[in-house]
Amino acid sequence: MIVVSDEVREAPAVVALETTLIAHGFPAGEGVSVGLESERRVREAGAVPATIGVLNGEIRVGLTEDELTRFDAGARKVGPRDLAACVAQRAVGATTVGGTLAVCRAAGIRFMGTGGIGGVHRGFPHPPDVSADLGELARTPALVVSAGIKSLLDVPATLELLETLGVPVLGFRTDELPLFYTAHGGPAVPARVESAEEAARVARAHWELGGGGLLLARPPDRSLDDVEPLIEEALAEAERRNVRGQAVTPFVLSFLHERSGGRTLAANRELVVANAGLAADVAVVSS
């Protein structure tokens, strides 16, 4: 059911990449180019990219460029709960961070890069929406590099829940948890690391203790310091249109991309690629 490409199977250093951000996190066509650029960055750092998604009834680990183009807005958004149905029904499935981590656990992949992980939605428990990314991170021995937690969520509550779940959160050369589009102003991180090598040492120690996932939070190089009012507008519009569940994150991201005149789009693109590169650096020093 899980088909790992030859290149990924033989590589000493592998970085998993997800397909939800390709299919649902960027405007049509743009997601694929973000995916390809992330793969290039991983290779430049000396690792092999393993982009993960569901195609033709198989969970694929490592996709060709042609295969990547099948992950468009028509693909299902596939979290951990959706993998089995997607495989059995032979649908095209774009895996979220949580869905990708579930595959990493089965395939033994220890490093992953993404933009921002999901978490506790603002206003919890109305709606009672907490991303499956968190539970999967707790169970999977993998280090995920992100620009923190997506700031359309309740970031402090998500950090608390990560503590409850025993997930280490490391700030990469920062004392503050980055806020996805914004480098500063987040809650304090429980630990800070100065290098990929140091992050790798923390991960190794955590895994020797039988621990699961870790989050390595890398601040975006281009920090947008004025997006919060736009985020609030986007969330209000989602509420007004009754957008719920899996549809919320894609709706809000595309609202921001349009209403910011493409500034959030450029920032999102850069941070996804940079995070993939850092995940590769950690994978390489760990190999």
> Using CA atoms, how far apart are residues 55 and 82, in angstroms rounded to an integer?
14
Site size for Mn ion (CB under 5 A) = 2
CB 17 within 8 A of CB 113: yes
Instruction: State yes or no: residue 260 binds ligand PSU (CB under 6 A).
Output: no
Instruction: State yes or no: residue 264 binds ligand PSU (CB under 6 A).
Output: no
| Candidate residues 51, 114, 140, 182; the one interacting with ligand PSU per rule CB under 6 A | 114
118: helix, strand or coil: coil
Is 172 or 180 the residue whose CB approaches Mn ion more closely?
A: 180
Active-site annotation holder among 39, 77, 136, 150: 150
Region binding ligand PSU by CB under 6 A among candidate stretches 13-21, 64-72, 104-112, 214-222: 13-21
Instruction: State yes or no: residue 116 binds ligand PSU (CB under 6 A).
Output: yes
Instruction: State yes or no: residue 93 binds ligand PSU (CB under 6 A).
Output: no
- CB within 8 A of 99, min separation 6: which ones? 18, 20, 52, 78, 79, 80, 82, 83, 93, 132, 136
Region binding ligand PSU by CB under 6 A among candidate stretches 9-17, 21-29, 156-164, 181-189: 21-29
- Return the H-helix or E-strand segment holding 55: strand 48-55
- Decide if 150 is catalytic: yes
Region binding ligand PSU by CB under 6 A among candidate stretches 114-122, 185-193, 233-241, 258-266: 114-122
Q: Beta partners for 113?
A: 17, 145
> Using CA atoms, how far apart are residues 146 and 169, in angstroms rounded to an integer?
11
Instruction: State yes or no: residue 96 binds ligand PSU (CB under 6 A).
Output: yes
Q: ω before 125 within 30° of 0 (cis)?
A: yes
CB 55 within 8 A of CB 67: yes
Binding mask 116-155 for Mn ion (x = CB under 5 A): -------------x-x------------------------
| Candidate residues 15, 21, 112, 265; the one interacting with ligand PSU per rule CB under 6 A | 21
Is 245 or 262 the residue whose CB approaches Mn ion more closely?
A: 245
127: helix, strand or coil: coil
268: helix, strand or coil: helix
| Residues designated as active site | 18, 150
